[in-house]
Structure 1
């Protein structure tokens, strides 16, 4: 017998709609798919955030978007403005990218202030923040330092990747982040979790969220294994996670 319910796995998934080639029709179909499968959130391109919020109204799926995505090199003032716009458009969870260049330069005061600016805007509005490290470019010491900074600032999640770097979530990184982030900080995997067994494997590590584009396949398999009826949703989605 499975040691999870459908809701356990569905509410791990942030359905990703971030590929820049997705049309408006693709985005709308992706939102409908996310509602049908009752995932945790839809993470959508910022310009479509307001419409996403409208479409998700009345569902248990949260609207989310990105800040400083995907390279993290925006000025802090721009990241703050992006966060303010996202909040105004109804965003509940903000996935921000750290300034990777500053991390690699060990300018930790800048990195902390940059993350803090977004968290300040989000928390003032009662919203949550996921901080994206882009681990494929970092060493373990840098990842640990970021976990410590995010813990001190009260980020709700630390997140492995954008899905657009040279690599995604690895089990070693997820274990490292779970070990060094505070007890109140959750871990999100992004990039490379492409089927139900992979999702269940990272769940065992302690991951609570996963960025996914293969949502229908993963949750369709979960429903099959749990003996639940299939969900019939026709949607085009190729987000790039």
Structure 2
């Protein structure tokens, strides 16, 4: 994981806009900011994927899209269709919500089958499993992390930002403890300032999902100039 004390936080940030009322001009602005400030990725809804792809083409900014969002309750076949569609349209990363009802029902075999299916559909893409940790017990978080590692996923992610709670340092530390260097950790949900972003990176996150990326980078640049 990069050292955030030596590397701009822009390289950690998924510049995110998932508001249901986001407009075309909002997405255009998001992508322009990502290019200008060298954010790691842009994360959008699938309906805006073609637009974002056209704006980011030829730049180093990665394009991420959410699947099964925000509840994770759609059938595996529907998530698979989403994933295939988005990959064909140029997505490099897929942020996919796990089925929370299956977790609470201890249907670990079904979850494993879904993760295996999606990994097979997207062998080259970066897959991020959104756990929505605010709803989960410690042992449930651990099992989800284990399954993500077993099935070759690239990230485990804390939250959608639409649940009743976002990322916590406690959960990120636990997730990092379980996956080690095999899988990366993305902290998302409620990260809105420079100090908080740095704390999550120190806790083990290698990616930060936030709609406050511009505010965070402006604060970092202001600090560096003083």
TM-score range, shorter chain: over 0.9
Q: 2:214 aligns with which of 210, 213, 216?
A: 216
C-alpha deviation, 1:182, in angstroms: 4.1
Q: Distance in 2 between matches of 1:151 and 1:49?
A: 27
Structure with greater contact order relative to length (CA < 8 Å, sep ≥ 6): 1
Alignment of 1:114-153 (within 5 A): 114-123=114-123, 126-153=124-151
Q: Do 1:96 and 1:130's aligned partners in 2 also have CA atoms closer than 8 Å?
A: yes
Q: Distance in 1 between matches of 2:154 and 2:164?
A: 25
- Decide which moves more: 82-91 or 177-186: 177-186
- Cross-structure match for 1:200: 198
C-alpha deviation, 1:95, in angstroms: 0.2
Q: Do 1:151 and 1:182's aligned partners in 2 also have CA atoms closer than 8 Å?
A: no
Q: Distance in 1 between matches of 2:182 and 2:54?
A: 30
Q: Deviations over 1:31-58 (max 9, x none)?
A: 1111111101000110111221111112
- Cross-structure match for 1:169: 167
- Cross-structure match for 2:100: 100
Q: Does 1:40 align with 2:37?
A: no
Q: 2:185 aligns with which of 162, 184, 187?
A: 187
Aligned residues: 223
Q: Mark the runs of 5 or more structure 2 residues left unpaired by the alignment.
A: none
- Cross-structure match for 2:64: 64
Q: Distance in 1 between matches of 2:7 and 2:40?
A: 14
C-alpha deviation, 1:115, in angstroms: 1.9
C-alpha deviation, 1:216, in angstroms: 1.1
Give the RMSD, CA atoms, in angstroms: 1.3
TM (norm. structure 1) is: 0.90
Q: Deviations over 1:212-234 (max 9, x none)?
A: 11111100111122239xxxxxx
3-state SS in 2 of match to 1:82: helix
Q: Deviations over 1:136-195 (max 9, x none)?
A: 111000000001000001111000000000000001100100001142200000111110
3-state SS in 2 of match to 1:167: coil
- Cross-structure match for 1:52: 52
Q: Mark the runs of 5 or more structure 1 residues left unpaired by the alignment.
A: 229-241
3-state SS in 1 of match to 2:191: coil
Q: Deviations over 1:1-29 (max 9, x none)?
A: x83232xx101100111111111111111
3-state SS in 2 of match to 1:130: strand
Q: Does 1:159 align with 2:157?
A: yes
Q: Distance in 1 between matches of 2:91 and 2:15?
A: 14
Q: Distance in 2 between matches of 1:161 and 1:3?
A: 25
